[in-house]
Amino acid sequence: MQTQTPVSWGPVNFGVLWAGENIPFTLKYQVPAGVTSFKTTISATAQDACGTTYSYPPPAG
């Protein structure tokens, strides 16, 4: 039986990010010994000065 234990410390706020700018960050995984593969999904949202929200990757459909 496979046990899945999601680990999340919540959203990270990078503050103001201007057009064309980026903020590098490191994401670390704690993978137990014996695990031969795992899958992860990373997403982000941003909001412009007018309040329009953008999602990355964009929603399907």
Residues, the chain: 61
Res. 4: pLDDT tops 70: no
Between CA 36 and CA 50 the distance in angstroms is 45
Largest CA distance in the chain: 48
pLDDT at 25: 81
Mean pLDDT value of segment 14-27: 84
pLDDT, tens digit (0-9, with 9 covering 90-100), for 28-56: 888 889 999 988 888 888 888 899 998 88
* Cα–Cα separations (whole angstroms), residue 52 to 2, 12, 21, 48: 40, 19, 18, 5
Helix (H) or strand (E) holding 46: strand 44-47
Across the strands, what pairs with 44?
56
